[in-house]
Structure 1
């Protein structure tokens, strides 16, 4: 089993480096990120699950790790995550099935450490 907690820490360290190096572009992206994910008609948790669905569909492992962590921090349950993975599979077929397995592996590791 991969250590996704360490990979999550590494991703966040890279975000910080990129933000510092990219100046206004990084700051503007983070502002947009925060604005898009804040509670509104949809909750922050629901938006993180949507991001997870897209991350699986576009096959971005770093995005899966990041949004899985944030979805769980926002209170996502195993059942909600599995339904999110199933939705990604519906929309993206075989590749989402493979990356959905990665998402389940990340979820299991995170929940096992709580």
Structure 2
């Protein structure tokens, strides 16, 4: 059964909102770290999101894949840039990463289809 990554992204947003009410310090601390780490600097946010996606594939984190495919596209990454990122992730993570690269490819297709729908 395939994962609906746009739905997963939405569900995680809702859950993080709920978790932030119970663990506000930890969640706000992580949110601040995320904001600062992904802010444009010497590297554009798009490249930082692509790096995060590559790491997500290499460490095999489905939820991270949902976030970073979404956020890489939002930051302006192209289809080709995401695909090249998946290739590097597979090289770094071997066979297991190749399987998660398939998951990220599916997420890419779903988010692109969702963004092209009226």
User: For this structure pair, what is the TM-score category when the shorter chain's length is used for normalisation?
Assistant: over 0.9
What residue is the counterpart of 1:40 in the other structure?
Answer: 41
The residue number in structure 2 matching 1:55 is: 56
CA distance in 1, matches of 2:3, 2:65: 13
Name the SS of the counterpart of 1:24 in structure 2.
helix
Structure 2 partner of 1:98: 99
Q: CA deviation at 1:112?
A: 1.4
1:52 and 1:89 mapped to 2: Cα distance? Answer: 11
Whether 1:89 aligns to 2:90 is yes
- Gapped regions of structure 2 (runs ≥ 5): none
Instruction: Provide the C-alpha distance between the structure 1 equivalents of 2:53 and 2:25, rounded to a whole number of angstroms.
Output: 26
Normalised by the length of structure 1, the TM-score is 0.96
* Displaced runs of 4 or more, over 4 A: none
Q: How many pairs does the alignment contain?
A: 114
How far residue 2 of structure 1 moved from its aligned partner, in angstroms, is: 3.2
RMSD after superposition: 0.9
